[in-house]
Amino acid sequence: MGYEATRQYFKRPDLQTAIDEFEENIEAASPWQLLVGYHQYRRQLENMEGLLASQERIPPLEHLVDAHAGQPATLVLVIGESTNRQRQSLYGYPRPTTPNLDKMRSELQVFDNVVTPRPYTIEALEQVLTFADQEHPDLYLTTPSLISLMKQAGYKTYWITNQQTITKRNTMLTTFSKQADEQFYLNNNRDQNLTSKYDGDVFEPFAQLLAEDAPRKFVIVHLLGTHMRYHYRYPEEFNRFTDRTGVPANVTDDQLPTYNSYDNAVLYNDYVVSSLIERLRATDPNGFLLYLSDHGEAVFDAANPDILGRNEEAPTGPMYTVPFIVWSSPRWQAQQAWDFSASLHRPYSSSHFIHTWADLAGLRFDEFDPSKSLVNAEFKARPLLIGNPQHPKSLIDFSLIKPKKPKELVQQKRETEDRTL
Ligand SMILES: [Zn+2]
């Protein structure tokens, strides 16, 4: 499967090389894409230059204290793609789309009120993986990332991705991934919307790094999840939802194949996430695995029966609601005795995720804010701000989303095609 060939070892990032590669990829794009994407392109280029250059200058976190210092640990963060929790039986969807996670439910902490700040991969992860949030959207340029945090805490860091890494929009993701000690890039397809590249490909590198002789490991697994076009996301044996059983009445005959293929993609995603948990568990680790999706997806839900995809200008609930689950190993549980029953229904924006992760990992530092940790006794509920933070007055609370009318569909389709993720 060739991931060895693309396995890369982190060295000091070379800004000019990165920019050269970036320009090359831009030139390969069609003129139409270039025209439409020019503004995005400038912004991304400026961001990348800033990020790569400033990465060298970002000071470490102040007064880092590790409750598990000196102990072996394996901590895994699985980032999903375009998966809204309403379509998972784990969260009450009537179709059994998550049978494996349902079976291991007693081992899971299932948080059911988490939303993403933005319905696009990069814009969401710029906040999920850093101290940036909707009120401080540029902090990802000047403060350490989650990867830097874990490196500072003495973890060897790995990034496995089944997302493409060569398009202009993904350059930001590449920049984040390059902060890890080792990368496994599994997807070099130019148009992942139209390509079958199943997430099960992450199993082999995952098994390999779990077997590596490093006492402390931090692993990010970035899945392609349930990204549009859904029927490319799963092999034939997962094509199990094919009729109208369990389908809401609003779904038309024309919409039914798409609706069903999304559920089949969720079913395959359940297999992937549960298999990662099983493979981790089999190594008898001291650690945990956390899974969340970058954002959700609207797929003809009853409140917005004509909406498919995502559009920040015309938001609907399913674009923002994400699954958020934590599995902890018996060895970890024996020490920590985690009980999050008081936290499972808290309203939470994944923009503050770095505080939750630090809390779970037993890390404290000056920048840590316990009121922004989903699992902390000092947690404080805040508005769940959604919208484009470059226009602060346009930010609204998630609860204020109103159902949209079908006229939004045309605009939404264009948006989805401009933005590969
Ligand atoms: Zn995404």
Q: How far apart are CA 217 and CA 379, in angstroms?
A: 28
Say how many Å lie between the CA of residue 256 and the centre of ligand 1.
23
Say how many Å lie between the CA of residue 240 and the centre of ligand 1.
24
**Three-state SS string across 352-383, please?**
HHHHHHHHHHCEECCCCCHHHCCCCCCCCCCC
pLDDT for the residue numbered 106: 96
Say how many Å lie between the CA of residue 115 and the centre of ligand 1.
13
Instruction: Inform me whether the pLDDT recorded for 144 exceeds 70.
Output: yes
377 phi and psi, to 5 degrees?
Answer: -60, -25
Instruction: Inform me whether the pLDDT recorded for 10 exceeds 90.
Output: no
- Please state the separation of Cα 155 from the chain's center in Å: 21
pLDDT for the residue numbered 187: 80
Say how many Å lie between the CA of residue 23 and the centre of ligand 1.
23
Contact between 378 and 371 under an 8 Å Cβ cutoff? The reply is: yes
Q: Where are the alpha helices (DSSP H) in 129-186?
A: 146-152, 171-177
Say how many Å lie between the CA of residue 266 and the centre of ligand 1.
14
> Element (H or E) spanning 128, and its range?
helix 121-128
84 phi and psi, to 5 degrees?
Answer: -90, 145
Q: What is the mean pLDDT of residues 341-345?
A: 96
297 phi and psi, to 5 degrees?
Answer: -165, 140
Say how many Å lie between the CA of residue 120 and the centre of ligand 1.
5
Say how many Å lie between the CA of residue 203 and the centre of ligand 1.
21
Say how many Å lie between the CA of residue 306 and the centre of ligand 1.
20
Say how many Å lie between the CA of residue 118 and the centre of ligand 1.
9
Say how many Å lie between the CA of residue 56 and the centre of ligand 1.
28
pLDDT for the residue numbered 44: 59
> What tens digit of pLDDT does each residue of 243-266 get?
999 999 999 999 999 999 999 999
pLDDT for the residue numbered 197: 80
Lowest model confidence (mean pLDDT) among 95-104, 263-272, 306-315, 412-421: 412-421
Lowest model confidence (mean pLDDT) among 16-30, 91-105, 178-192, 380-394: 16-30
pLDDT confidence bin for 160, thresholds 50/70/90: very high
Q: How far apart are CA 316 and CA 187, in angstroms?
A: 30
Say how many Å lie between the CA of residue 152 and the centre of ligand 1.
28
Say how many Å lie between the CA of residue 119 and the centre of ligand 1.
7
Q: How far apart are CA 69 and CA 191, in angstroms?
A: 43
Say how many Å lie between the CA of residue 76 and the centre of ligand 1.
19
pLDDT for the residue numbered 57: 74
Contact between 350 and 132 under an 8 Å Cβ cutoff? The reply is: no
Say how many Å lie between the CA of residue 351 and the centre of ligand 1.
14
Average pLDDT of the chain, as a whole number: 86
Say how many Å lie between the CA of residue 42 and the centre of ligand 1.
21
Say how many Å lie between the CA of residue 34 and the centre of ligand 1.
21
Say how many Å lie between the CA of residue 67 and the centre of ligand 1.
33
pLDDT for the residue numbered 11: 32
pLDDT confidence bin for 178, thresholds 50/70/90: confident
pLDDT confidence bin for 9, thresholds 50/70/90: very low
Contact between 86 and 318 under an 8 Å Cβ cutoff? The reply is: yes
Say how many Å lie between the CA of residue 63 and the centre of ligand 1.
34
Fold of 3-418: Alkaline Phosphatase, subunit A (3.40.720)
